[in-house]
Amino acid sequence: MATSVESHLAVARGDRPGRVAAWAGRPWLLRSASILVVLGLWQWGAWASVNPAFPSCTATLAAFWELLVDGTFAGAYAETAGPLIVGLLLTAIGGVLAGLVMGLSARAEWLGLPLFIVLQASPSAAIVPLITFVYGIGFTAKVFAVVLLSAPVIVLNSYRGIANTPRSLLEMSDAYLASRRQRIWKVIIPAGSGLIFAGLRLGVAQGFTGAVLAELIITPTGVGDLITYYRSVADYPAMFASILSIIVVASVTVTLLQRLELRLFRPELRPA
């Protein structure tokens, strides 16, 4: 399923050195201006709309500030973070291992690849409500939701990283008498580490989705609960502020991971 296009798309999309460099290196001026424009549009939209559920930008930002200062956000994120971090750790370790095994063993690949490809393409979110039947409505259920949504992308990317080691490097290691173990640890894994990390970054993004979904559907805690609660009391500025907060947190996290990835792997992905 990974065409050559997709592999260089993975390099290009959002992870472009040019891309990040372009707007990371640009003067803050342009980015701030863009943010202000969007906020301005929002404000205008809210003012022009008759929908009471469309809070103005200023009201939302005010609510955001309040929730930040009075510790509501802190409390909520403390709750959301738990299952998110545990789930991501599980998929990070388990997923990379699974991808590794699938990349190295033809049998494992035959068994696992179609399964994960199907899981990746499917709306597995539909399973989330079912989780309660097995795991109740607690911590475990939420961890399961995070794992369910983040695992396929991590496994598939790790697999691709391992299975697509450049032929030339493999031949070189054979020519210089590498043992099977040396081949795996000194050549295959380092060569695949870029894609593995990319998979982890994508997995983190999906993990956030899983955590939010779990909190909206399974059990009201953390940020999900904030969103649901404020909607139920029709406090739209606070509701939108909560939504804004998770978008910001997720984006910042993923952007930081992107920067890290660029620093760690970019020069090394250029062909030797």
Residues 100-139, interacting with other proteins (CB under 8 A): 109-115, 118, 120-123, 125-130, 133-134
Is 1 one of the binding residues for other proteins (CB under 8 A)? yes
Among the listed ranges 6-14, 67-75, 96-104, 155-163, the one in contact with other proteins (CB under 8 A) is: 6-14
214 close to 141: Cβ distance less than 8 angstroms: yes
Question: Considering the complex, what minimum distance in angstroms separates the CB of residue 139 from other proteins?
Answer: 19
Is 48 one of the binding residues for other proteins (CB under 8 A)? no
Choice between 93 and 127, CB closer to other proteins: 127
Is 254 one of the binding residues for other proteins (CB under 8 A)? yes
The gap from C-alpha 130 to its chain's centroid, in whole angstroms, comes to 23
In 3D space, the residue among 241, 251, 224 whose CA is nearest the CA of residue 70 turns out to be 241
Among the listed ranges 61-69, 70-78, 153-161, 184-192, the one in contact with other proteins (CB under 8 A) is: 184-192
Is 212 one of the binding residues for other proteins (CB under 8 A)? yes
Question: Considering the complex, what minimum distance in angstroms separates the CB of residue 62 from other proteins?
Answer: 17
**Alpha helices (runs of H) in 105-235, residue ranges in sequence order:** 106-121, 128-135, 139-163, 167-175, 180-182, 189-217, 222-232
Is 5 one of the binding residues for other proteins (CB under 8 A)? yes
Which residue carries 């393409």 as its tokens? 121
Among the listed ranges 20-28, 68-76, 136-144, 153-161, the one in contact with other proteins (CB under 8 A) is: 20-28
Is 27 one of the binding residues for other proteins (CB under 8 A)? no
Q: Which one among 101, 213, 238, 262 touches other proteins, defined by CB under 8 A? A: 213
Q: Look at the chain and count its residues.
A: 272
3-state helix, strand, coil in the chain (%, to 5): 85, 0, 15
Query: For 237, what's the count of Cα atoms within 13 Å in the CB-facing half-sphere?
Result: 13
The set of residues, in sequence order, having a beta carbon less than 8 Å from that of 127 and lying 6+ positions away, is: 148
Is 85 one of the binding residues for other proteins (CB under 8 A)? no
Question: Considering the complex, what minimum distance in angstroms separates the CB of residue 93 from other proteins?
Answer: 22
Q: For the segment 216-245, give every residue that binds other proteins (CB under 8 A).
A: 216-217, 223-224, 227-228, 231, 236, 239-240, 242-243
Question: Considering the complex, what minimum distance in angstroms separates the CB of residue 57 from other proteins?
Answer: 14
Is 39 one of the binding residues for other proteins (CB under 8 A)? no
In 3D space, the residue among 77, 82, 87 whose CA is nearest the CA of residue 154 turns out to be 87
In 3D space, the residue among 207, 201, 218, 249 whose CA is nearest the CA of residue 88 turns out to be 207
The rounded distance, in Å, linking the Cα atoms of 63 and 251 is 20
